Amino acid sequence: EAGVVQSPRYKIIEKKQPVAFWCNPISGHNTLYWYRQNLGQGPELLIRYENEEAVDDSQLPKDRFSAERLKGVDSTLKIQPAELGDSAVYLCASSYGQGETQYFGPGTRLLVL
C-alpha cells in the first residue's frame, strides 16, 4: 500500500514570495491533516479535512495561509506571502476517518530567506 505522498520535499524561497505544498493521501482515506513542525518541536495541527470540508482550521493563520481539497483526495497548502518565521517542515497525514490512526507523509522542508 502506497503511503502519503508529498511534494516538493524541499523548498527555498525569499520572503514575501508565495509557496505551495501538495499532498496525496493514502487511497481510501477520507480525513486529511496538515501539520507544521518547527525545529526541535513536535508537529502542530494546522487544518483537518473530512472529505472536501475543512472541519477544523482554528490553528491556520488565515491572513497568509490557505488550503484546499477540491475533490476530497489531493490537497494543497499555500502560503502567500511567506515570512521568515514560516520556515518549518509541513507534514500531511491521512486516516480512514475521524478518530482513526493517522499516517504521515515525509513532509516538505521550507526555508524562507
Partner 1 sequence: DAKTTQPTSMDCAEGRAANLPCNHSTISGNEYVYWYRQIHSQGPQYIIHGLKNNETNEMASLIITEDRKSSTLILPHATLRDTAVYYCIVRVAQGNKLVFGAGTILRVKS
Q: Determine the distance from the C-alpha atom of residue 46 to the mean position of all C-alpha atoms in its chain, rounded to a whole number.
A: 7
* Other CB atoms within 10 A of residue 91 CB: 23
Residue with smaller CB distance to partner 1, 73 or 104: 104
- The answer to the question of residue 87 lying near partner 1 (CB under 8 A) is no
- Sole binder of partner 1 in the list 14, 44, 68, 83 (CB under 8 A): 44
Tell me the one-letter amino acid at 97: G
For residues 107 and 43, give the distance between their C-alpha atoms in angstroms, rounded to a whole number: 11
**Residue 106 in the binding site for partner 1 (CB under 8 A):** yes
Q: Does 8 bind partner 1 (CB under 8 A)?
A: no
Reported as half-sphere exposure (CB side, CA atoms, 13 A), residue 64 has a value of 13
Could you say whether residue 99 binds partner 1 (CB under 8 A)? yes
Selected binder of partner 1 within 82, 107, 110, 112 (CB under 8 A): 107
C-alpha–C-alpha distance, residues 12 and 2, integer Å: 27
C-alpha cell of residue 80:
502567500
Minimum gap (Å) between residue 77 Cβ and partner 1: 15
Interacting residues toward partner 1 by CB under 8 A: 4, 31, 33, 41-45, 48, 56, 91, 93, 98-99, 101-107, 109
